[in-house]
Chains A and B, each alone.
Chain A
Amino acid sequence: MTMSSAKSQPVPSESTLEPTAPAMELADLSVMIGGQGGDGTLTVSDLLGRYFRKQGLYVYTSRNVLSRIRGGHADASVRASREAIAAVKSQVDVLVAFDHEAIDIGKAELAPHGFIVYDSTTFHSELPNAAGFPFATLVGGPLGQPIFKNTAAYGALSVLLGFDVAATRQVIEDRFKRRSAEALEKNLKALEIGRKAALEAQGVANRFSVVDGDARDLILTNGNQAVALGFVVGGGRFFAGYPITPATDIMEYLQRYLPAYDGVVRQAEDELAAVNMILGASYAGARVMTATSGPGLGLMTEGISHAGAAELPIVVTDCQRVGPSTGEPTRNEQSDLSHVANLGHGEYPRFVLAPSDPADAFRLTIDALNIAEKWRVPVILLLDQALAQNTATSVRFDLSDVRLDRGKRLTADAAAQLAQYKVYELTEDGVSPVAPPGTPGLWSEVTGNEHDEWGHVSVNPVNRVKMMRKRMEKMKRARADLPPSRFFGAETARIGFIGFGSTAGPTLEAMRLLEARGIRTRYLQTRTLFPVPVDEIDPFLQQVDVTYVVEHNYTGQLARLLRESVPWHHAKLRSILKYDGSPFRAPELISAIPEVA
């Protein structure tokens, strides 16, 4: 019998390469994967991230990194480094393309030594540093479905990057073993198909070698998952939300976690309902939260003001995205800061906390729940899309110093000892002891109307002044409970940075690059944005000649808040702003500083 059909011939790999040169060592590597939605770009990114983390490297993955993404195109990037990084790399070392558009978009980012691996099922590229493999065809025959092309691409990459074979395989096992035996088996086959194709192609195997790292016992997670876990550990038991990118994941994680802890998660009919449902649950005595983004926060503003007046503890997580209006739902911005600092109608105490990495998001969610309940106020937890959704290696979340502070919450026994139960009792620190409804033998009136100590509606001017002072006193008294800023770099440095949220990653990386050039800088990462921590900002600015306020918005909202709070340092503050929807990269920060650029 002879092979006569062209179809049964092995499909040759298309490679335009010179014979294999010695492997180029990479200690800081960026892989970008692009294609149509549904091509499995996120799966490839996830598999690579898992592999790199196992090899002791710091990992940062992001999606839709470029600002030119349109139509059905989707892409993801994975960065792995021996250094602690939490930012996108400026150049791409390896581009994986499932369609031609991915090459068109990605090639501009490619490093001079960069290399392209593409699926040649439907097109051919003439670019010199490119190897095409018909992944969809290769897997389609033996596995019945072209969908496994993503795992095959991971297999080819593992050969290109000189991965350890057993560890490469282990990643597939870890990822698919919980799915089904069939899914695992097929993906292992797809892996081998991809590996074999790459091994047979000229100039692909071991073109690069990735240096192992020594970062051990790290987890790979994102801000949204960290907030969800912080909510559980912080005693949060009631969550209501309305789907909105990039905050929806929080609700989805909690739908998985909370029921086991007697908790309830509800998807409401809109953001008005979501915030009012948590207000009701808070009144009933539960620790509560909602999570949203810009347009949803606009709708919730009425309810947040109500929480301030009625003194109902709530936590509202705002995962900021490009605004105003629908803006760019999947892209990064920090333009809600002015809004949350001044949120709502009327005046009431509120606190705005801003974590900068997943471990910090876990911790500040617990802090937010404690502050909200102890001081009976609304607390805003401010994230940005990059922190919310990009995954980063993080230290394991630590339970050892977690404390729950329920403030003056009354137990049934303590309440029974009271001669009078006044839900808005005037106290020195502005906080009234409160017993949840259902506590035997007592009841209360809770209202957003101005009220007297009993909760009865009142327009008495003397009472009004007392109640305003009672509530606003909390802004002063709660200061000791607010998360302190973090300081990095040399105390003697004359150039400073101030920022919040996801800009911490690129800022710290820029500082390291500058340090290597002998330029010392200092960084204040503020974790409480409102009220502005003047007692930390003032001495920091005292010591530097100039400070760059790094933020993702057009008008410099943090810089403006700082100028209002420490006007005597006005001349030292300069802004580095980015509002194109993509997160900062470290070199961009350096080139924005005239003193060092």
Chain B
Amino acid sequence: MTQSAKPVPPIWCPGCGDFGVLAAVKKAAQNLKIPTGELVLVGGIGCSGSIHNFLEINGLHALHGRLLAQAVGVKLANPALTVVAAGGDGDGYAIGMGHFMHAFKKNASILYIVMNNETYGLTKGQASPTSQIGFEGNVEPPFHAILTALSIPAPNFIARTFSGDPKGMTAILEEALRFNREGRGFAFVEDLSPCVTYNDTYKLWREKVLDVSKLPGYDPTDRKTMFRLCLETNEQGRIPIGVMHRPKESGHDGLEVKLIGERAGPARSDIRLESNLASYQKLLGSLT
């Protein structure tokens, strides 16, 4: 058997919330029996973006903020691959915001995990787009990714998890991956992943998280309901977690399904000249 790159030990501080994500990704992939060679993990820049180095997996380390564009490129070139993009809140909601919004609209069947710690950890604790007012002199209100995601009318899977609840996270990641592998579209999971060094929110978040599925009227197929539940939970000073949206219909709405269907796709297509010669001659012959 060919020896491939061996995982290296995580660079994270002991107790980092990202360990929870690492374990949950590993477990979910195992539970779904995804062959190692078929899984591609596209990492962003920041502590969380190094996650692909710690797994026996195809890792593609993208530029800061650009991981979603690269992940969509991978999926559209070879739809047989299971593609996970993983990065932090700065990566996804600041420098990568344009790609973030469009990922919902594109609806390629990839999983995007944002490890939200409300700070830029790797550059030593600056305020991030999700930082609370007052954190490191921050005067801007925090960005709410789940409400934003719910506002885009596309058949996406949307959820929020907490690193302090690894079991709940594994179940949600498993559902998200299944959603992707069935060609149903984009899955977005924001994980609340405390930075133990610059913004240790474990205790606070453990007290504040609230599983929305326990709330009366919970219906993740209805955006209006979920938007209201999230807003109300926030107003009560709590943080909603759980599955926030799954489409009512189980359609194969993934972008790669629409564009490629059952065909091989760009990376696996037979590009040999001899296989295409007659067709090329016809194409060039049509020029006048």
Contacts and interface: CB of A to CB of B under 8 A. Distances in A.
Contacts of A279: 62, 66, 69-70, 73
A423 B277 CA distance: 32
Nearest to B62: A276
Contacts of A399: 273, 277, 280-281, 284
Contacts of B269: 237, 261-263, 286
A interface majority secondary structure: mixed
Interface stretch (B36-44, B124-132, B171-179): B36-44
Contacts of B283: 229, 232, 257
B63 interface: yes
B73 A404 contact: no
A283 B52 CA distance: 15
Contacts of B281: 399
A441 B37 contact: yes
Q: What is the interface residue range for chain B against chain A?
A: 35 or more
A455 B2 CA distance: 16
B228 interface: no
Interface stretch (A95-103, A445-453, A493-501): A445-453
Interface string A424-458: 00000000000011111111111111000011110
B209 interface: no
B91 to A, nearest CB: 13
B36 A437 contact: no
A260 interface: yes
B260 A264 contact: yes
Given A262-B266, A449-B61, A456-B53, A423 B77 contact: no
A282 B78 CA distance: 10
Contacts of A221: 287
A284 B66 contact: no
A220 B288 contact: yes
B271 A283 contact: no
A297 to B, nearest CB: 16
Residue among B36, B37, B271, B284 with most chain A CB within 10 A: B271
Interface in B102-123: 102
Contact of B77 (A220, A286, A421): A286
A287 interface: yes
A421 B3 CA distance: 6
B286 to A, nearest CB: 10
A137 B81 CA distance: 62
B206 interface: no
Residue among B8, B38, B58, B59 with most chain A CB within 10 A: B58
A397 interface: yes
B144 interface: no
A438 B78 contact: yes
Interface of A: 50, 53, 174, 219-221, 225, 229, 232-233, 235, 237-238, 240, 257, 260-264, 266, 268-270, 272-274, 276-288, 302-303, 306, 310, 396-397, 399, 402-404, 415-416, 418-423, 436-449, 454-457
User: Nearest 4 pairs between A and B by C-beta?
Assistant: A280-B73, A235-B271, A276-B69, A447-B61
